[in-house]
Amino acid sequence: MIETIGKLLWATPGWAAQADGAGLDEASVAQVLEEAGKLARDVLEPLAKVADEAGCRVEAGRVKTPAGYPETYRRLGADGWITADLDPDLGGMGLPVALHVAASLPFEGAALPFMMALGSTRAGAHCLAEHAPGLREVWCPKLAEGEWSLTICISEPDAGSDVGRIRTKAAPDGDAWRLSGTKCWISFGDHDMAARIGHLALARTGTAEEGTRGLSLFLVPNLTDDGADNGVRVERIEEKLGLHGSPTCVLRFEESQAVMIGEPGRGLAQLFTMIELMRLQVGSQGAGVSLRCNELARGYAADRKQGGKPSEAPVPIDTHPDVQRMLDSIEAQALVSTAMMLEAAVAVGAKRTDYAAFLLPLAKTFCGEGAQEAASTTIQVLGGAGYTREWPAERLYRDARICTIYEGTTGMQGQDFLFRRLLKDEGAGLATFAEAMRTELSPGVGLELLSRLEALSETVRAGAPGGQMAAADGFLRAGWACVSACLAERVKALGFEAPMAQYLALAPARFALAEAQVMHGLGEVPNS
């Protein structure tokens, strides 16, 4: 896995320049990735199994995490993994975003639920670093060390994706603020891993009629600066399909002291730094799970012996053509997802805003969908064993299901991709991608689908608003069919011929299905 990640990283256009700018050569990058791989294998993978079985619980109003969580969290902080890409002056290591993402892939595949605590803390540290002078010097080093942690608090019982309906209120209290209301779906909203937990919460400082323009961003610690209780209550933790090792909390704020971040009424804009990085993490979760599934399925199939001539010893199941087909499918998904995450991470690191904004909805959505498919196929490769808890395949399947839901559902990503990236941004990200691919690739499936996506874009532009809304999911899927095919061409050229040949053979069919969905949404295909 580690060698493959490194190979794909160095093949990502723009990475070599970023590595050189950070003073990194191939040996130093390999060392970082090897250490990440060892930590994933030796510490996080065993921890994930224990955590899935034990789960989290509330004791005396506080969340108790599985055995080993506090020690592992602090170890990762002490070793610099939590905010590796943060400025060294704020406690980070100053690594490029792309290397941080590459190193996180084995972590996510090994223990996705645990890693959610690191993801929100890292993203929140970047948000404070960018928007909160005065707070960042105090908070960021503590976050980097693993002594403190951060959450993101947006959703409420009556306000999920419809953020403009948030009811949690913040009222001025002298030079400070007091925040009251209920937030739900808060990952690691409370835990026993860090001495202090800060909540980056959206709250209403304007009127309800102002919608999102009446929202401001606040830092709300669970403890005040003098260590007193700050009125943050855990109402419950959710019982979930997966993520048993991640406490998903409902939090109630009772006149909690809060510090405003940035300007009043600009809360959502200030929070976008955190949202972007957390969507990048969700895509990394999907890619990490797919990589782990590939490793698991191939290892099992090489050892498991079934079939062959009755007069001879049974043969490894990876010699059977149908099993080979499934293994190639899993590997292709892992490779394409990894290539996608590294492409997006390099774009984010280079501050190529339009291009990153074009890639992130695709990365977040389809690395997540791909992880579900990879885990499902891995269970199939393992057969009955895959359906049991003796093997991690069923846990990976349950955990990966969340990836297309949180940090913006697939429907929200489709609307972002069409209405913002195509219409509002006038296709700037697509134009950047098209120029890069036509420079990099030889004629083939990838460039064929690129031309078809550009033509489909013009058709969608001309559609009526209602039809465009109905076509958004299909257009998102057409975008992925094209982008993933182009990335598959890059991966194939690195020597991964077998899995990429199958993936590319099916790419035109995936695009055609998405295209038909778009045309139906636009009203160009009659109901039948």
List the catalytic residues: 407
All residues at 6 or more sequence positions from 463 whose CB lies less than 8 Å from its CB, including other chains: 471, 522, 523
CA dihedral 283, 286, 287, 288 (to 10 degrees): 120
Name the nearest CA neighbour of 168 among 229, 238, 275, 256. Answer: 256
Q: Are 247 and 331 in contact (CB under 8 A)?
A: no
Element (H, E) at 416: none
Name the nearest CA neighbour of 284 among 407, 116, 101. Answer: 101
CB-hemisphere CA count at 13 Å for 162?
Answer: 6
Q: What is the DSSP letter of 42?
A: I
Q: What is the DSSP letter of 412?
A: H
Measured CA to CA in angstroms, residue 12 lies from 6, 37, 47, 342 at distances of 10, 20, 32, 7
Greatest extent of the chain over all pairs of C-alpha atoms, in Å: 87
Question: How many of the other CB atoms lie within 10 Å of CB of 354?
Answer: 18
Q: Which two tokens stand for residue 315?
A: 């043969």
Q: Are 430 and 421 in contact (CB under 8 A)?
A: yes
All residues at 6 or more sequence positions from 141 whose CB lies less than 8 Å from its CB, including other chains: 90, 91
b/e 426-461 (16+ beta carbons within 10 angstroms → b)? ebbbbbbbbeebeeebeeebbbebbebbeebbeebe
CA dihedral 311, 312, 318, 319 (to 10 degrees): -80
How, if at all, do strands 169-173 and 176-187 pair? antiparallel
Q: Which two tokens stand for residue 376?
A: 């499902």
CB-hemisphere CA count at 13 Å for 125?
Answer: 31
Measured CA to CA in angstroms, residue 244 lies from 44, 221, 241, 400, 428 at distances of 15, 25, 8, 12, 41
All residues at 6 or more sequence positions from 197 whose CB lies less than 8 Å from its CB, including other chains: 148, 149, 150, 151, 188, 189, 190, 191, 221, 222, 232
Element (H, E) at 446: helix 445-461
CA 459/CA 477 separation, integer angstroms: 15
Name the nearest CA neighbour of 89 among 42, 35, 125. Answer: 125
Beta bridge partners of 64: 57
